Amino acid sequence: MESVESVANLRSQFHEVLRSRRTPIVPTLRALQTLSAEPVVKPLYQGIPVDFEAMRSYPKARINVKEQLNEENFYLPTEEGEQGRLPVLILSMKDCTQSKRPAVVFVHPTNANKEWLRPSLEDYALRGYIAIAIDSRYHGERAKTPTAYQDALVAAWKIGDTMPFIYDTVWDLLKLADYLTTRDDIDHSRIGITGNSLGGMHAWFAAFVDTRYAVVVPVIAVQGFRWAIDNDQWHARVYSIKPVFEEARIDLGKEAIDKEVVEKVWNRIAPGLASEFDSPYTVPVIAPRPLLIINGQDDPRCPIEGIDVTISKTQKAFEDAQCLNHFKVIIEPGIGHDVTSSMLKDASDWLDKFLKP
């Protein structure tokens, strides 16, 4: 297991990267003052809406759910500027005997939004959780057009003053943790985080840098960015956000996107993603907090071979912490980049195991 000092240094380095491209930071007191918002009736999607199999398995409408749940919609300031206003949706049971409840933060995949997660929020809230969802950068209420996210990625390459791929939303999740740990109705020692695809990457990095996220379940998210470059397995991940790589190809005078283009883009828009902050270094330091990694065996965006070292190093970290039962990896056979009902059940069981009293 990494020494306490080396883990602290790695987190400090990542935090410095997060701070390096911030607009002026919102003062702490103001950051905890939420701004009321109205429920979103027609949420905006980026590009083609995601269509994971598992989300279709939820009931289309639950009977009397509005009578059973409280709904909160608000904005949380995380930094100055338009993107520094974090939209938050929270659902919780109206009649609950617990004065302090466990909470779970859900983070949506690329092209979706917090409203897309409402079935999950309702499911967990009805089981006694305080269920929270946010819009990640340039998604949902933080987007004005269906191409806002892709446009932001291109701008990050061209200008280099933002980090819309993973990092900027991780900053928001740190500020969300600041807020959640001020609430009297949440048990601050029982805050979990989970997400699918891009949302799972957000969960992984937020938990790496912030120990207030006590239980972690990244779904179809953990991957080896360096491994993908070195082994020519970067195509599926890159083509999921192809416009920024195509723009870089042109700027670099290349006839086609190649590994040099890929590495330069990652270094520009997410510094350290394919080096010191890659999964072999950041995932193991989540130990000893309970961590469940769920991937599909045939997922081209998260090749299983690319996380062999990550899994090995993480297992060693949990062994050294004498809590190997806090770490589990589920690789679902025959599944590509999709979220299945069994994945959602596994995630739910893991969160219940460690967050429910």
Torsion of CA 46, 223, 203, 77, to 10 degrees: -50
Least confident of 7-21, 22-36, 68-82, 274-288: 22-36
Distance CA 163, CA 166 (A): 7
How many other β-carbons are positioned within 10 Å of the β-carbon of residue 229?
18
Classify the C-alpha dihedral 162-167-168-174 as positive or negative: negative
Residue 96 pLDDT:
79
Q: What is the pLDDT of residues 59-73, one digit of tens each?
A: 666 767 888 999 999
312 within 8 A of 184, measured Cβ to Cβ? no
End-to-end CA distance of the chain: 29
How many other β-carbons are positioned within 10 Å of the β-carbon of residue 231?
13
Q: What is the pLDDT of residues 289-321, one digit of tens each?
A: 999 999 999 999 999 999 999 999 999 999 999
Q: For the whole prediction, is pTM greater than 0.85?
A: yes
Among 208, 187, 186, residue whose Cα is nearest residue 8: 208
Distance CA 232, CA 172 (A): 32
Residue 26 pLDDT:
65
Task: Quickly state the pLDDT bin for 161 (edges 50, 70, 90).
Answer: very high
Mean pLDDT (whole number) for 112-134: 96
Q: Could you tell me the two tokens for 20? A: 């390096």
Pairing relationship of beta strands 85-93 and 69-77 according to DSSP bridges: antiparallel
Residue 5 pLDDT:
84
